[in-house]
Amino acid sequence: MIHRNYFHRPISHFAEPPITSGVGNPSAGLAGRSAGGVPPRLTIGSGRGKEPLESMHPGLGRRMRFGGGMATSSTTGWMEIVVVIENLPLVVNQELFPGVPLSIEQFNELVRLIYQGPLEPVPWRGAAAMIRDCLRSNRTTFVLRPASARLPAFMVRDRGQGPEVYQDAYNQQEVFSRDPFVGLPPHRVVSIDDVMDVENWLNSDFYKQFVEPEKIRYIVGADILVEGGAEFRLRITRSPEQGPFSESDKALCQMLLPHFKLALELQSRLEVTETERGFYAKTVSQMQVGTVVLDDAGDVIDVNDIANGILSRQDGIAISQKRLHASYGRENLDLQRIIRQALDLSIAKDGQPVNGVSSNAISISRPSGRSRLNIVVRPIMQGAGLQRPSAVLFIRDPDINAAPSHSVLKQLFEFTNAEANLSLMLARGLTLDEAAAESGIRKNTARAYLRSIFSKTGVQRQTTLVRLILGSVAAIG
């Protein structure tokens, strides 16, 4: 039997490094239960007829390849992940593991929840609750970040009262570091009784102070190492009355580890992408550059704050029925032409721009008579998706200048407050006399400040000073 589940998830743009890890024996408890006694096989693929991203066999390592687009709020790049479970029992309601109330359909749902985990408000809340229910435990805990001298642990747990971010004394390093159930063999499920003498464990100060009061006696867990050195810890507990975990319980957990590892790697790359995007978006906005992102049909799918301000004034350019339109007919024809060209370039063969042209520029007149808007249109070249960003427009209003940072100017050139203020006024286009009047200082005082500024920057002309300031990193500080 082959069972499939489809996950549509946004993911970041991945390179294709091979990633390997031992997975122990994830099919323990399954051998002989499928047709012909063939152990189950998991494949994670693209779902579009491409070769699988991951193929996992019992007892072997695994390799995977990534592809896809960007996962950001401004773009809609998607990747379709298909989990294919082969050689499973033909009776779908039959338990996969002896004594564990989990059917194929439920296992399929649990795998889906693992991949959905990074997108949930409380990470992996759905998976935590379902694992607790399936294993009849009193709690499931995910340690997403172990405690350190700098930061407390970040933990998510489910105790049957709804998943929660766990914040307690245990999260602090001085307590967290005393836990003896750490440093487990990577990617392998073990119990506390496997690694510690039972009598020593039950008589330890740590058990009596932090574990026993929580009605915990039995623990199974696994440590998962992900790229970049991050560590994820899975801990599942039972009370004395609930009894120890069986080998089938541990086999189920073992089979889930590769999925947790892959989901964690996706989360890690998503976080990097989101952090980078947020930083670059903020920098572009500080430079007073508007950005408008278009999909492959030319519809607007995202604008930043600067572009939104320009477009909302409907002075020269505006959005109508999800499309950009210029105010004047001839300019609108030119704008639509270069947008279409950018969209065509975004799907050019091998991502190579036609005739070496990768962008086009246009200036747009404004009915208000203000300075013409400057626009550059560039294609975005990347893989296929459900609704992918295909072109971006950069819009600049010449009447709005990026204001260099006062504090950054002081640090760059060792200016005093007065010198930084005068430099900013000159960069805004004021003459020295106008700057003196606006500052409420004498002209001779302004000239003295200017001489000091020249000395500190190594320039001798005001025009050169303005060019130096506007071209410095102060504009993005």
Query: Which residue, chain included where needed, has tokens 């069972």?
Result: 3
C-alpha 280/C-alpha 285 separation (Å) is: 9
pLDDT of amino acid 352: 55
- The percent of residues above 90 in pLDDT, for the chain, comes to 46
- Cα of first residue to Cα of last residue in the chain, in angstroms, is 59
- Per the CB < 8 A criterion, the answer to whether 9 and 120 are in contact is no
C-alpha 80/C-alpha 47 separation (Å) is: 6
Report phi then psi at 298, rounded to 5: 90, 5
Bridge partners of 140, per DSSP, are: 158, 236
- Per the CB < 8 A criterion, the answer to whether 359 and 325 are in contact is no
Q: Which two tokens stand for residue 445?
A: 């005082």
- Look at residue 35 and give its three-state secondary structure: helix
Question: In 3D, which of 121, 100, 116 has the Cα closest to residue 163?
Answer: 121
pLDDT of amino acid 476: 76
Sheet with 79-86, edge to edge strand ranges:
2-9, 79-86, 41-45, 54-56, 63-64
C-alpha 163/C-alpha 154 separation (Å) is: 13
**Ranges under pLDDT 50 in the chain:** 1-92, 351
pLDDT of amino acid 226: 86
Sequence-distant (6+) residues with CB within 8 A of 421 are 406, 439
C-alpha 448/C-alpha 384 separation (Å) is: 61
